Amino acid sequence: MTASHSQARTLSSRQIARAAGVLMLAYIASGVLGLVRASAISSAFGAGPRLDAFLAAQRVPETLFTLVAGGALGSAFIPVFTRFLAADDEDGAARLANAVITLLVAVATALAVVAALFAGPIMEYALMRGADPSTQALAAELMRIMLVTVVVFGVSGLSMGVLNAHQHFLAPALAPSLYNVGLIFGALVLAGPWGVHGLAWGAVIGSLLHFGIQIPVLVRLRFHYRPLFAPQLPAVREVLLLMGPRVLGLGVVQVNFWVNTSLASGMIAGSITALNFAFTLMFTVLGVLGQSVGTALFPTLSTLSAQGDWDSFRRTLADALRSVLFLSIPAGIGLAVVSHPVVALLFERDEWTSTDTAGTAWALAMFSVGLAGHAVLEILVRAFYALHDTWTPVKVGTIAMVLNVVLSLILIRVFGYPDSTDFAHGPFGGLALAMSLATAVESGTLWVLLRRRTGGLDDRRVLGGAGRTLVASGIMAGVVALFLSALPDLPALIQALGGMALGGAAFFGTALILRVEEAQALPRLVLRRVGR
């Protein structure tokens, strides 16, 4: 593998914005395919026991991948790998990548085998404890099929870290789109003859495509994998030490998902599906607004931290936070207001009923109010990792996890658990709201701690802009709500697009009147482009 010093360069705020823009387009493409995937799956199965079983089964391989090679490995690997690149130590970078891949494949394979052996008890006593035995057995079968993806995603996840460290963002950002293609193929083609098992095999195909799209870029970088089992290498030990707290942090997040799935399994059939589809919709928007900026920002923050350039670190981080808040606050509030027509437009056909739509829209509204908290969390956590501080997010995340579980147990009862039979406003809405509230507390706590650590984040400018953005978003929500209530019989397409158009105009106009910097910058940017 070859790498020049320029490949470990830092990016200016404008370059980060440009890289984030490229990533945003990739995330939009992935998001669109994700919506097509969800639409195909919902049309084929509806919100019921079969899809509940698939989604519960998917939770196990997803958890294993996240812990072994997801954000944990990327966040720990990139700072160490970029240090080799910055020092023009190509051999050291190659040895690190080869050793980590080899170790990763070994660990992922072992965990997948153990999980397959205990698939039945996992479903019966943990994830699907409230479901009937036949649904539990189906979930165990589907889980065993999809455990193959743990190993494939492990290698693919590390490849994303290698490419991001070289400032190659497009192929890794497009990889999730290819995973969606595999699931779409499973829903449209394989589900016909094989039922929900075909959907599980579609997930396996998608994981292979997820890795495959990155291979051409790895080849151009002259990356050649050579098996190297060397956990004793100092760089590998450093990655593992950095990764350890992050694994615990992600494990805390996964506990939230497992608790939600377990509690929802004892609610009305389809509750797991409604909760998961609503989270997918919210997460699609989060990927476009928060993850794109965070992914583009992280290598630069890591390098600035290594160089000790704290003024640039603070300025870059504050710019990113302002941009993310300007986008995520109106997006979250707007998505909550138009949740029903959006869900109806995307999913309500064939096996998916109007009742399924109402329940999913209810959960989506509860998730969406926490979108800004999730987006800010994406930025703040990466800032701590760039400082080589992986323990602080873990400690705060653990507290947030406990808070989430407590709030979940309280709020599901507020919304009628266990007696409620109203799917349209089911108790699972309490699970979604609990996660939104806990994430907001987590983000706020990390903000305060990071502010103390860095000597300030230009708080007055960032929070002042966020406050004005919130006011503009409130006016936007009122305009859209009036539109929807005045014309309730319009088709879902007109309601969704009309609400978004009116809301966007109301928000942007109000933001200009309130002199929100990001709103004022957009017309100047357009005029500058036109004037060229």
Percent of the chain, pLDDT > 70?
Answer: 91
Amino acid (1-letter code) at residue 433: L
Quote the pLDDT of residue 522.
64
Check residues 165 and 493 and name the one with the higher pLDDT. Answer: 493
pLDDT at 316 over 90: no
Q: Which pLDDT score is estimated for 34?
A: 84
pLDDT of residue 418: 85
User: What's the pLDDT at 529?
Assistant: 44
By the 8 A CB rule, do 43 and 324 touch?
Answer: no
On the question of pLDDT at 229 being above 50, the answer is: yes
Mean pLDDT of all residues in 82-102? 85
In angstroms, rounded to a whole number, what is the distance separating the alpha carbons of residues 425 and 178?
34
Contact yes or no for 61/144 (Cβ under 8 A)? no
Neighbours of 226 (CB within 10 A): 11
DSSP 8-state symbol, 131: S
Residue with structure tokens 């889980």? 143
Residue 283 burial class via C-beta count within 10 angstroms: exposed 0-12, middle 13-18, buried 19 and up? middle
Mean pLDDT, the chain, integer: 88
Instruction: Identify the residue with better confidence: 307 or 207.
Output: 207
- Farthest CA pair distance, the chain: 67
Nearest to 351 by CA among 24, 30, 50: 50
What mean pLDDT comes out for the span 420-431? 93
Which range of 6-15, 22-31, 502-511 scores highest in mean pLDDT? It is 502-511
Confidence of residue 2 (pLDDT cuts 50, 70, 90): very low
pLDDT at 366: 98
pLDDT tens for each residue of 252-293 = 889 999 999 999 999 999 999 999 999 999 988 887 776 667
Task: Map residue 397 onto helix, strand or coil.
Answer: helix
Among the listed residues 137, 1, 113, the one whose alpha carbon sits nearest the alpha carbon of residue 57:
137
CA dihedral 275→280→285→291, nearest 10 degrees, is: 120
Provide the strand spans (E) within 226-346: none
Q: Confirm if 376 and 443 have CB atoms less than 8 A apart.
A: yes
Mean pLDDT of 20-26: 68
What is the structure's pLDDT at 8? Answer: 45
CA distance 528 to 510: 23
The answer to whether the beta carbons of residues 334 and 480 sit under 8 Å apart is yes
Give 449-458 pLDDT, tens digit per residue: 999 888 878 8
- The answer to whether the beta carbons of residues 265 and 128 sit under 8 Å apart is yes
* Cis peptide leading into residue 121 (ω within 30°): no
pLDDT above 50 (res 392): yes
- Single-letter residue type at 482: L
Per DSSP, the residues of 29-64 read HHHHHHHHHHHHHHHHH-SSHHHHHHHHHHHHHHHH
Task: List the one residue out of 243, 79, 234 whose CA is nearest residue 161.
Answer: 79
Once rounded to an integer, what is the mean pLDDT over residues 200-204?
97
Q: What is the pLDDT of residue 289?
A: 77
What digits encode the pLDDT tens for the residues 461-503? Answer: 889 999 999 999 999 999 999 999 999 999 999 999 999 999 9
Mean pLDDT of 204-221: 93
Asked if residue 74 has pLDDT above 80, the reply is no
Q: Which residue has the higher pLDDT, 73 or 435?
A: 435
pLDDT cut 90: percent of the chain above it? 56
What is residue 34's three-state secondary structure?
A: helix
**Range scoring the smallest mean pLDDT among 77-86, 127-136, 424-433, 505-514:** 77-86
* Statement: residue 59 has pLDDT above 90: yes
- For residue 21, the model assigns a pLDDT of 66
Stronger pLDDT, 14 or 125, i.e. the higher one? 125
The predicted structure's pLDDT at residue 248: 81
Helices (H), 124-190: 133-146, 148-165, 170-185
Is the pLDDT score of 509 beyond 60?
A: yes
Please name the amino acid found at residue 251: G
Top pLDDT among 505 and 243 is at 505
| CB 363 within 8 Å of CB 278 | yes
Q: Is the pLDDT of residue 460 over 90?
A: no
Highest-pLDDT range among 9-13, 224-228, 321-325: 321-325
